Amino acid sequence: MRFSHFLPTTLHSLSLATLLTLTTSLALPDPNTAIFPRTVAPGTPVAAPTELRILPLGDSITFGYQSPNGNGYRLELYNDLSGDDVVMAGVIQSGSMIDNWNAGYSGKTIQYIAEQANASLVQSPNVVLLMAGTNDMNPNPDISQQGTDAQAAASRLASLVDQVFDQVPSTVVMLAKIPHVADATQESNTRAFNALVPSIVSDRADAGQHISLVDMSVIQADQLVDGVHPNAATYDQMGDIWYQALHALPQGWIAPPLGPDPDHALNRDGSNVQ
């Protein structure tokens, strides 16, 4: 069961959403070039009456670091989804929103995220919002502990995607390119990494898995607070992009989640009763 928030649903500029890219295994345009210039109004149901059990999975941007309310993109997305029954999955709480669960690991690389992911995947999300790799591209070796080679990082990301499908075969994975950054060296690494993400999606879509590509690389360095993390307006724009991406999914992709909702203290959904 979803909760009402004290913050109103607002739709910020959707110019970024027009750059949304989507890959599917169906008869759609080339996944590496397809652009979906659609702007669906907030509150338009995505899958109702099917519950959306959403797992935001990633690093500090997923966590909402440097956003004024600590929610990052998640509150804007949640408010956009007011026409659906939404439950957030994850084992971390961050932000002022009521259902503030997620799996955002600040300062961590893809490998670390993968090592922690199963604790959230056991909650059987039917949608996984996966955005990771920013820390892998950081030239500081204390952060990018597995190195900054883009191909190696993309391979780790591909393995994480496979891990998600191994744990929850019926889920939809929405895999994002990562935002640009201010540091020149990290930005060069980021561009090389992002160029490899579409093939991760298309390879698995061709195999029949429900996976889509979301282009968060439309976020530019001048939209960041500290050269890495989005400002408040940009976090909201990211929430809107995820929302448009959900509406761009083929009908029928989102299956009802398996089992009870996560047993979160703030989740009072009756389906939690086992």
- Give kind and range of the element (H or E) at residue 176: strand 172-177
What are the pLDDT digits (tens) for 77-106? 999 999 999 999 999 999 999 999 999 999
Q: Name residue 55's amino acid.
A: L
Given a contact cutoff of 8 angstroms between Cβ atoms, the answer to whether 63 and 106 are in contact is yes
Distance in angstroms (rounded) separating the CA atoms of residues 231 and 223: 6
Answer whether residue 199 is part of any domain. Answer: yes
The pair phi, psi for residue 240, each rounded to 5°, is: -65, -35
Domain count for the chain: 1
- Give the pLDDT of the chain (274 residues) as one tens digit per residue: 554 333 333 333 333 333 334 333 333 333 333 334 458 999 999 999 999 999 999 999 999 999 999 999 999 999 999 999 999 999 999 999 999 999 999 999 999 999 999 999 999 999 999 999 999 999 999 999 999 999 999 999 999 999 999 999 999 999 999 999 999 999 999 999 999 999 999 999 999 999 999 999 999 999 999 999 999 999 999 999 999 999 999 999 999 999 999 988 644 443 333 2
Answer whether residue 266 is part of any domain. Answer: no
Answer whether residue 41 is part of any domain. Answer: yes
Range of the domain at 166: 18-258
Answer whether residue 139 is part of any domain. Answer: yes
Geometric angle at alpha carbon 211, from 218 and 85, rounded to 5°: 90
Task: Give the CATH number for residue 100.
Answer: 3.40.50.1110
pLDDT of residue 263: 86
Distance in angstroms (rounded) separating the CA atoms of residues 153 and 43: 36
Answer whether residue 129 is part of any domain. Answer: yes
pTM of the full predicted structure?
A: 0.86
What are the pLDDT digits (tens) for 57-71? 999 999 999 999 999
3-state SS class at 28:
coil
